């Protein structure tokens, strides 16, 4: 039996969730975030790499990091919240990657209920959809203090500023949370 000493790093804990319509790229974004922050173990990466190959996909599908259920992989959508963890030198993060499909809205609510920040993804080609509004309103009802609207898949609109501005103009929802905007493309390239 051993006894130990010393108190350790004091991190701040931040919980955030993803939201937005089905297929807008929530799980891929989280996968990319984990990849870029080097939070993926090699065996995990190997596993999703071979799973992607088996599915006949050319690139490593980073959404498979959170879409771990058999049914999710068969259908290519998120069904229930996946919780993932990573940290930077300043903060520890608890991520809740939630489903966009309307049928699983209750799971989105489950994952978002404890979040301090919600990332709401928007497909740059599609703009604000019914489900985007629904998730934004739910996040606000849940009293998540900060919402970040992420215009994703910018690569598919050639990174046009205009596309971003149009969506920004269309975003007329009155919410109680403070809102930030950003544009992204998190498709994985080797």
- Would you count residue 84 as binding other proteins (CB under 8 A)? yes
> Which entry of other proteins, ligand GTP, Mg ion, none binds 4, CB below 5 to 8 A by partner kind?
other proteins
Site for Mg ion in 52-81 (CB under 5 A): 78
Under DSSP, the state recorded for 156 is G
CB of 2 to Mg ion, least distance (A): 43
CB atoms within 10 A of CB 179: 14
Q: Which of 63, 119, 147, 149 binds ligand GTP (CB under 6 A)?
A: 63
Q: Which residues pair with 14 in a beta bridge?
A: 93
C-alpha to C-alpha distances, 160 to 5, 28, 129, 148, 167, nearest whole angstrom:
55, 21, 20, 20, 12
CA angle at residue 41 from 115 to 101, to 5 degrees? Answer: 40
Q: Where are the beta strands (DSSP E) in 107-167?
A: 117-123, 146-152
Interaction pattern, residues 131-170, with ligand GTP; x per rule: CB under 6 A: ---------------------xx-xx--------------
The residue whose two tokens read 């090699």 is 42
Q: Which of 21, 27, 132, 177 binds Mg ion (CB under 5 A)?
A: 27
- Would you count residue 109 as binding other proteins (CB under 8 A)? yes
> Which entry of Mg ion, ligand GTP, other proteins, none binds 106, CB below 5 to 8 A by partner kind?
other proteins
What tokens were used for 27? 């799980």
- Judged by the rule CB under 8 A, the positions of this chain that interact with other proteins are 1-13, 35, 38-43, 45, 65-66, 68-69, 71, 79-85, 92, 94, 106-107, 109-110, 113-114
């Amino acid at each position: 039996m051993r006894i130990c000493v010393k108190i350790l790093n004091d991190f701040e804990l931040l919980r955030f969730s993803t939201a937005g319509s089905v297929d807008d790229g929530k799980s891929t974004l989280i996968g990319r975030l984990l990849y870029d922050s080097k939070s993926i173990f090699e065996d995990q990466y190997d596993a999703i790499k071979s799973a992607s190959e088996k599915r006949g996909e050319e690139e490593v599908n980073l959404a498979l990091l959170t879409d771990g259920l058999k049914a999710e992989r068969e259908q290519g959508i998120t069904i229930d919240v996946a919780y993932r963890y990573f940290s930077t030198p300043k903060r520890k993060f608890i991520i809740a990657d939630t489903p966009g499909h309307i049928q699983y809205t209750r799971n989105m609510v489950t994952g978002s209920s404890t979040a301090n920040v919600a990332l709401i993804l928007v497909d740059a080609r599609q703009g604000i959809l019914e489900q985007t509004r629904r998730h934004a309103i739910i996040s606000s009802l849940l009293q998540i203090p900060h919402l970040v609207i992420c215009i994703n898949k910018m690569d598919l609109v050639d990174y046009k500023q205009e596309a971003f501005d149009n969506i920004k103009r269309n975003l007329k929802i009155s919410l109680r949370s403070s809102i930030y905007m950003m544009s992204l493309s998190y498709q994985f390239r080797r």
